[in-house]
Structure 1
Amino acid sequence: MSNKIVLPSTLFETSNIDDEVLVSLYKDMLLGRNFEDMCAQMYYRGKMFGFVHLYNGQEAVSTGVIKALSDSDYVCSTYRDHVHALSKGVPPNLVMAELFGKETGCSRGRGGSMHIFSAQHNFLGGFAFIGEGIPVAIGSAFQSVYRKQVLQDHNPLRVTVCFFGDGTSNNGQFFECLNMAVLWKLPIIFVVENNQWAIGMAHNRSTSYPEIHKKANAFGLPGIEVDGMDVLAVREVAQKSIDRARSGEGPTLIEALTYRFRGHSLADPDELRSQKEKEAWLARDPIKRLKNYLINNNIVSNDIMDSIHIKTKQAIDDAIHFALSSPEPEVKDLKRYLFADDDNKLN
């Protein structure tokens, strides 16, 4: 039942996606890249603390999948969660303030980099331990079915997307939750962001079966491989999987082949990966590929492209100003938000 799809790098040339959608996809990826670049600057200036894992290079996966969802759908992330939150609509100001540990952050400064959360945007959070979010996503998908079948919700079935890395695919939660998802025909999409490395371990050295999407065979759900550096290829696969889930046909496993352009975290000197390997993936930068397509096909002019970049930079600058000027959490509120009541709800 495995469906291996290797979409060509020339997919842009045959795309029939509306021009406005193409531009919106570019804007989302650009926002994510610029946001992460600024995070690196702020981290090295001592404005952020703890571990910070950046998403540079993987933007086509976040944008391609999440921008195909509806507002009522859910997203469950990993510790590399900033860009997932931005794609789901969490404002840059709130994400940046959270990274600074400020009271105005989307998790009130209590979560930091690895625990971005926003109930308002159905963003179920980042998780510090690998595989930790998969059972949470299963619960989210189950409540969608419960809402529909028991509570008689007449709205379309809500879909949950669960992101995780290649290293997680060797963990027990992955296998257990795939089994449960198929057993209950849950409206969930498992997205493996295979960036080739689990911290310092190369993917092909850590698993006896490197093609992760084929592991779907054991549980009877579709397993799809896609070029994770091509936002349109990702979007096409994601849209079909979302439609399948929303119609009640159950889960899908997507393996997006991608690459992180920075080290595992900002504390990682990134000395284990070869320069030749990095350069080969950098040449396939998903943002540059879409930019070239937009300009070469006269979808946007150079002036409009410059305007997009200026507005994106301004949005990031505004987020930094907001974070720097926001108040720190007060000691008296140390135990606040531990329990869900009307006075202590997070965004």
Structure 2
Amino acid sequence: MSPASASIRVGQLVQLTATLKDASGTVLSGRVISWVSSAPGVAAVSTGGLVTGVAAGAATITATSEGQSGTTQVSVTASAPGQVIYYSTNFNDGTTGPLDVYAYGGGSCAASTAYVDPGSAHSMKCTIPAPGGAAALQTWFGTSKLVGTPNDPSLDQDLFEQVRFVLAPGAAAAIGGTTCGSSNSGSQFKTHKSVYGQSGSAINGWVMSEISPCSDGNIGMFSEAEMWRNNGHANPWPGTYPSLNEGTVYDVVYRYHRYTAQGCGTVAVWVNGTKVMDLACASYMGTTGGSSAGLLFWDGATYLSGGLGPLTVYTLFVQATNYPIGAATPSP
């Protein structure tokens, strides 16, 4: 097992690796490995060996294959002084917790057991019927269920948001496939938007994540500036074309930082541990556009347009902090 032991904070991740060998020491491949945590309420482990710190304590992670097993000891510590968790939920109780639902066009969200985060009994299943609408999980700072939090936690400090979700089978078919063709010229869907208030396209805000084969090319999923008229560069997510990897977990972390003295903002995005976007400070990045509304995140089945079938997204886990989480690093 590698590593043999690990120490992480609540909300942080560590990837474990189990190497299988035969009696002569030859490495074996293609074997099925099962992963179990002795204390999923402390450290939860995914089917691929990705461990998440849930609460302070200790846990033993065991990997088993063909009757043989190995272990890693994981220690989870509480957040350090000065570290803030603005919200965090794995939807274990079947509710949206600190989030609301924003839906129109027949979109809806409900608890599901089809896909779940390690240690949780439920996820949130959000579905938009064709031809389009929204079924987003909404996080709105300073209002609704987050009254008491800052309206904009990105002001002169890093703000990190982490989302784990699954695109349900049929996601690609909802937009007529991941390749541009005559039948899907106007088809697209989004899984994230970060804006100020319930704003439309390119009015204010930070970043959006989406797929739009005919307007942005055959590149699969990508992230780009919400103010795309200022910067329309698409930053592709690796390994999402031609397949969207339906039924597998995406672990996405966003970093926001608005520098008030300089009048600009920066944003970075990591997908499954790989940095896909890191924009230099720009005046349009994080602009409020004159809005006094708090920062708002939409995740899940955020938007479907020109749909040829229904879009379903399962959201497994969400959190926001003022310290790095997952693969993310602090602003320079």
Question: TM-score, structure 1 length as denominator?
Answer: 0.23
- Which structure shows the higher helix fraction? 1
Q: Which one has more relative contact order, counting CA pairs under 8 Å at least 6 apart?
A: 1
- Which structure shows the higher strand fraction? 2
Question: TM-score, structure 2 length as denominator?
Answer: 0.24
